[in-house]
C-alpha cells in the first residue's frame, strides 16, 4: 500500500502543478498594437476580471498604454505622459508636454517615444527629456525599428527620425494637400505603411528614404471627405486597415492591389485591426466588433455593443479579444465564437486600446482614469508543460490512469498474498 500511496500522490502533485501554472506568453506590451507590424496579437485562455486599480489624471485618457518591465506608460489630454507602477498604479513620474497626449507611447531600449506638440523622447526610468523634435500636433503613435522612429503629423507629413538624437532622416508629405496623418505607421520588410486624410489614401513608403512605393485610394463616404484614421496591420504580406467609407480592406503589401474588402454598417474611425491565426478583428461605428476571414474577408462572427460605437482597437491575447467601447465598457470576447466572456464598466467612453500583460488588462478611459483590470482564470487553463513532466491537465483526466494503476497494484498484492499462503 505504501507503493500505491506514493504513486497516487506523485501523480496528484504533477496534476496540481499543471493546473496552477499559468502559461502567459509575454511579459511586455511595448508600443501601440504591440509591435511595429501592428498585429495587435500575442498568443488561448479564458479570464475574468476580479479586481482593479485606477490612476486618475487631469484629462481624458485616449492614449493606449505601453507596459514594459513592470511600468505602465500612457498619455493624457492633460498634456502629460505618465509612468505608473504596473502592480499598484502608483505614479513613478510624469512629464508635461506642450499639448494633449493622445499618441500612444513606444518604449524601446529604456526610452519612451511619444507624440504631442511634436515628438518627444524621454528617459523611461526618470521621465527626463532626451530630445524633442518640433512638428505639428502629433496624435499618431510612433513605431521604432532599428534605431529609427516613424510617425505621422496633423500637417500631412510622415517623419523618419533618428531615435537616438531626434534628427530628421526624411519626411514625406501626402500628395493631395496638407491633410492630417492620424494613422500610426506600421513598419516591416523595409516599408512604412499608413493611412491619411489625403483623399482617403493608404500609402507605402520606402523605410530608408521615404520614397513612395504605392498608394491606394479608398471609396467615398456619403457625408464626409475620404478619411483613413485606422492604423494598418501588416501580416504575411497583406495590409489590413479600416476606412471612413465603411470598409475593411486587405491589400497586397508589396504593390497595393486590393485582395478583398468587407463593408460594415457605418464608418470605421480610430479602430485598427488585430490579425491572428488567419482572422481579422476590428470594430466599427455601427456598434459591432467583427471577426473576418483574413484570406477572403468573409465574416466569421460579430458582437454587437449596446448602442455605442467601437473606436478602440482590439487586442487579441491567448484566445480572448479585448476591446473598449463608447458604451463605457471594456469587453473580453471569445476569439473563436465572439461570445462575451466579461465586461468591465468605466465612467466614460473607452477609446484607448487595451494592452494585456501577464493576465492584466491596462486601458485608459475618457473618465480621466487609467485602469488595471486584473484577470484570473475562470476555468482551468491549459498547462505549461515541462519536458520532464507528463501532460496532465486535471485530476479528472488522471482518474482512468489512477484506477488502472490501483487495479494493477492490488492484483500484484493479491498474487503475492496467494503465493505466500500456498508456500506455508
The pLDDT tens digits of the residues spanning 245-265 come to: 999 999 999 999 999 999 999
Sign of the CA dihedral with 190 first, then 160, 314, and 85 last: positive
Q: Mean pLDDT, the chain, as a whole number?
A: 83
On the question of pLDDT at 43 being above 60, the answer is: no
Q: How confident is the model at residue 404 (pLDDT cuts 50, 70, 90)?
A: low
pLDDT at 29: 77
**SS3 state of residue 311:** coil
> What distances in angstroms separate CA 207 from CA 33, 146, 162, one per listed residue?
19, 11, 12
How far apart CA 23 and CA 60 sit, in angstroms, is 34
- Distance in angstroms (rounded) separating the CA atoms of residues 50 and 282: 26
pLDDT of residue 30: 76
Per-residue pLDDT band at 175 (split at 50, 70, 90): confident
Domain residue extents for the chain: 2-20+384-423, 47-377
- Does the structure show a pLDDT above 70 at 290? yes
Locate 342 and state its grid cell: 466579461
Q: How far apart are CA 140 and CA 170, in angstroms?
A: 17
- Alpha-carbon distance of 36 to 145, in angstroms, equals 7
Q: Where does the pLDDT of residue 118 fall: very low under 50, low under 70, confident under 90, or very high at 90 and above?
A: very high
User: Cα–Cα distance between 283 and 302 in angstroms, integer?
Assistant: 9
**How would residue 62 be classed by pLDDT, with cut points 50, 70 and 90?**
very high
Q: Which range (5-14, 134-143, 207-216) has the least confidence?
A: 5-14
47-377 belongs to which CATH class? mainly beta
Quote the pLDDT of residue 413: 54
- Residue 289 CB partners (closer than 8 Å, separation 6+): 281, 282, 283, 302, 303, 305, 310, 314, 321, 323, 331, 333, 338
Confidence (pLDDT) at 221:
66
CB 346 within 8 A of CB 365: yes
Is 80 exceeded by the pLDDT of residue 417?
no
Between 72 and 377, the higher pLDDT residue: 72
Q: What is the pLDDT of residue 414?
A: 55
Q: State residue 380's pLDDT score.
A: 43
What is the reported pTM? Answer: 0.80
Percentage with pLDDT > 90 across the chain: 68
Q: What are phi and psi of 18, to 5 degrees?
A: -70, -30
Q: What is the pLDDT of residue 49?
A: 77
| Pairing mode, strands 233-235 and 238-242 | antiparallel
Is a pLDDT exceeding 70 seen at residue 422? no
- Is the confidence at residue 383, as pLDDT, over 90? no
Q: What are phi and psi of 169, to 5 degrees?
A: -95, -45
Query: What is the predicted pLDDT for the residue at 17?
Result: 27
Amino acid at each position: 500500500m505504501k507503493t500505491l500511496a506514493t504513486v497516487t500522490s506523485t501523480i496528484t502533485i504533477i496534476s496540481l502543478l499543471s493546473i496552477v501554472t499559468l502559461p502567459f506568453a509575454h511579459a511586455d506590451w511595448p508600443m501601440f498594437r504591440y509591435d511595429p507590424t501592428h498585429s495587435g496579437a500575442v498568443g488561448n485562455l479564458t479570464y475574468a476580471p476580479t479586481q482593479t486599480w485606477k490612476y486618475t489624471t487631469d484629462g481624458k485618457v485616449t492614449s493606449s498604454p505601453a507596459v514594459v518591465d513592470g511600468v505602465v506608460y500612457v498619455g493624457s489630454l492633460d498634456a502629460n505622459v505618465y509612468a505608473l507602477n504596473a502592480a499598484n498604479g502608483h505614479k513613478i513620474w510624469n512629464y508635461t508636454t506642450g499639448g494633449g497626449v493622445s499618441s500612444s507611447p513606444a518604449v524601446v531600449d529604456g526610452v519612451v517615444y511619444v507624440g504631442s506638440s511634436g515628438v518627444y523622447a524621454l528617459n523611461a526610468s526618470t521621465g527626463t527629456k532626451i530630445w524633442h523634435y518640433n512638428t505639428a500636433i502629433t496624435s499618431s503613435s510612433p513605431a521604432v525599428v532599428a534605431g529609427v522612429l516613424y510617425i505621422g503629423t496633423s500637417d500631412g507629413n510622415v517623419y523618419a527620425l533618428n531615435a537616438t538624437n531626434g534628427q530628421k532622416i526624411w519626411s514625406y508629405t501626402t500628395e493631395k494637400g496638407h491633410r492630417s496623418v492620424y494613422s500610426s505607421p506600421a513598419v516591416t520588410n523595409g516599408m512604412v505603411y499608413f493611412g491619411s486624410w489625403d483623399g482617403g489614401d493608404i500609402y507605402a513608403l520606402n523605410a530608408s528614404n521615404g520614397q513612395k512605393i504605392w498608394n491606394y485610394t479608398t471609396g467615398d463616404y456619403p457625408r464626409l471627405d475620404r478619411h483613413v484614421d485606422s492604423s494598418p496591420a501588416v501580416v504575411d504580406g497583406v495590409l489590413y486597415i479600416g476606412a471612413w467609407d465603411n470598409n475593411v480592406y486587405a491589400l497586397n503589401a508589396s504593390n497595393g492591389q486590393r485582395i478583398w474588402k468587407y463593408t460594415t454598417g457605418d464608418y470605421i474611425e480610430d479602430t485598427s485591426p488585430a490579425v491572428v491565426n488567419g482572422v481579422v478583428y476590428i470594430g466599427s461605428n455601427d456598434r459591432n466588433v467583427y471577426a473576418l476571414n483574413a484570406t477572403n474577408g468573409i465574416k466569421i462572427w460579430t458582437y454587437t455593443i449596446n448602442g455605442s460605437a467601437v473606436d478602440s482597437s482590439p487586442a487579441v491575447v491567448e484566445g480572448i479579444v479585448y476591446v473598449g467601447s463608447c458604451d463605457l465598457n471594456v469587453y473580453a470576447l471569445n476569439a473563436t465564437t465572439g461570445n462575451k466572456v466579461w465586461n468591465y464598466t468605466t465612467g466614460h467612453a473607452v477609446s484607448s486600446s487595451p494592452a494585456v500583460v501577464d493576465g492584466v488588462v491596462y486601458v485608459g478611459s475618457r473618465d480621466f482614469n487609467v485602469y488595471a483590470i486584473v484577470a484570473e482564470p475562470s476555468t482551468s487553463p491549459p498547462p505549461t508543460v515541462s519536458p520532464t513532466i507528463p501532460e496532465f491537465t486535471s485530476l479528472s483526466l488522471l482518474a482512468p490512469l489512477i484506477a488502472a494503476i490501483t487495479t494493477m497494484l492490488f492484483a500484484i498484492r493479491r498474487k503475492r498474498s496467494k503465493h505466500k499462503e500456498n508456500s506455508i
